[in-house]
Amino acid sequence: MNPAFAGMTTEMFQPLGVAGTLPALPFLFFSSIYFYYFLKLFFVTEVKVMRRLLCVFTAITLGLVAQVVNAKAYKGAEIYSSDSYLYGRYEIRMRVANASGVLSTFFTYKNGSEVGNTFWEEIDIEVFGKENATKWQSNIILGSSRPTIHTEQVHTAPASLADAYHTYVVEWTPDYVAWFVDGVEARRITGTSTVTSLTNPQSLRFNIWSSESVPWVGAWDDAVLPVYQFVNYIDYKAYNATTKTFEGGWRDDFNNFDSARWGKANWSFDTNRVDFAPENVVVKDGILVLALTKENATGFSGTPPADAPVSSSSASSVAVSSSAASSIAASSAAPSSIAASSIAASVAASSTAVAMSSVATSKATSGGGSGGGGAVNLLWLVLLGGLALVGRNNK
């Protein structure tokens, strides 16, 4: 990446996607800039005007061509929060897609982590669509080096996670990160550099996408499309460092799409088989629907599956007090280090609750593991390059 853009976060580039038509606001923005330069150059010689206008229109044309060339045949969906949060308890009620090659996810992500050698910070829940959607992955991604350090661990559910809604929880404090499914703690990392390195606020994100890594997510067959991820609600509670409890916060039941709280992604990233299309984000009947479709079949027109009534307060077997959660026996922890090349296998399940089996698969380089944040769009870079050319010719 050009060092001139090294300090820019991807959110600055989000209004333009990898695929699709040129959105109105960015187009008007750049048009106004170009019109300004046109007026400024109006009184100079005709040759200079033509040369500078040629630079501008060449930049626009190249940008539009780049969009067409980079468009992918499949469209996924992602939403991201407008605000970022440092620590907290995140409870999600969702039903995932059942399709090999597909991932249904919730993750927290430090915006701009993908830029240059920025220190990456991310916490993942990724549910695999392969093997009847019976497996999911917990993960923390860190590091300034590329590839980043992954601490992946795969968990197996006793039944398909795509046949009904399930409650997923991530608890993130300065001392530990823990993952729960339907009230059962599946994994906990306590007091290692993997946890203490998570020092920055992170945005909240849901997405459905397809990785090109067959060993990781399974073989791809587009005959299964369309497939969907359904989200009933997300409940966030802030972390109080003084009382060591989770309190306050907010809850979104997706009775509508709150554009002040969420944005719709329109980008992609390497190894992702899909572009994220805003049209594949739909709210209907109190359910957030994220669709994975073919290019010319975006959206959702059906009826989301209903969820059985579940009490949010009773969804997790762990009390809202993080101090109580910390009293869980140390044997349930999965020790991890940012420099570790492997993680000891860990199982944290109750004989009277849903059994979850865990297989440690931590590694420094991985076939996947990142839900993906924003991606700096080529069209923006080309357009900015056009401005640079105009400025240079104006001297």
pLDDT digits (tens, 9 = 90+) for 221-239: 999 999 999 999 999 999 9
Domains and CATH numbers, the chain: 3-16+21-70+377-393 (no CATH), 74-360 (2.60.120.200)
Of 122, 152, 171, 185, which one is the catalytic site residue?
122
Residue 303 backbone dihedrals phi, psi, to 5 degrees = -115, 120
Average pLDDT of the chain, as a whole number: 77
User: What local confidence, expressed as pLDDT, does residue 17 receive?
Assistant: 38
pLDDT tier at 382 (50, 70, 90 boundaries)? low
pTM of this prediction?
A: 0.72
Do you find a cis peptide bond into 174, omega within 30 degrees of 0? no
Calculate the CA 241 to chain-centre distance: 27
**Known catalytic residue at 126:** yes
How do residues 269-316 score in pLDDT, each as one tens digit? 999 999 999 999 999 999 999 999 999 999 999 999 999 986 544 444
List the one residue out of 321, 127, 99 whose CA is nearest residue 207: 127
**Known catalytic residue at 114:** no
3-class DSSP string for 293-361? EECCCCCCCCCCCCCCCCCHHHCCCCCCEHHHHCCCCHHHCCCCCCCCCCCCCCCCCCCCCCCCEEEEC
The span from the first CA to the last CA of the chain, in angstroms, equals 26
User: What local confidence, expressed as pLDDT, does residue 309 receive?
Assistant: 81
User: What local confidence, expressed as pLDDT, does residue 272 receive?
Assistant: 98
Tokens for 115, please give them. 């830029």
